[in-house]
Amino acid sequence: MNVVSALRTVLFYCGYVPTIITFSVLGCTLGLLIPYRPRQTFITTANAFVLWWLKLSCDITVRVKGLDNIPDQAFVALSKHQSGWETFYLQRTLRPVSTILKKELLKVPFFGWGLAMTRPIAIDRSNPKQALREVLSQGKQRLQEGNNILVFPEGTRMNYGEIGNYSRSGASLAINSGAAILPIAHNAGSCWPAHRFIKQPGTIHVVIGKPIDSTGRKSKELTEEVKDWIEATIAGL
């Protein structure tokens, strides 16, 4: 273990923890007073600070390509999931956005409370059929309201270089609602490894692909197309 990286990581969490607690508490309070969109913008200000502090404390920079590919109309974003980094970045960048996540996260003190105020779609992963029904019903309603949907099709964080099974739920939602799919590739796991404490200095590359029309598509082939693009793009970073 690199001692410098370890010390930098400790410094990062010294700023991270109070930031999450502060914005979660304020977000829960403001949630009773202000509408959803400004509330999410306020709460994800914490995300922006966390990413800035990560750069300062751990020397992790970000390079993004394809921001101009983000549609004006509500869409379903499918992203690689390698760490906690992309949750912070994408919730801020794609707002207004509802993230599909496991309901257990909402029980985490402070972090989960603030997360709940951003209107995620919380599912029970132990019941896949019910989870899919909730994704389709709640997701379609959010899209109709102009809210984007963020899906991590692998369902859990994968170690850098690993490929998980891509769920078809995001593609199914896009097809059923007529929304486009926005594919997102990144290598965040190279700096913020899954299930590990130490953060490594380096550059996180993010590539936002062109929107994919879901009209007349089958969820299996559409999911495979997104998977192939994401994994090939990551391999080229």
| pTM reported for the whole predicted model | 0.94
**CA dist., res. 156 & res. 220, Å (int):** 19
Whether the predicted pLDDT of 1 surpasses 70: no
One-letter amino acid at 175 equals I
Average pLDDT estimate for 197-224 = 97
Q: What range defines the domain where residue 23 resides?
A: 3-235
Whether the predicted pLDDT of 116 surpasses 70: yes
Backbone angles phi, psi at 145, to 5 degrees: -85, 0
CATH code (residue 59): 3.40.1130
Structural domains counted in the chain: 1
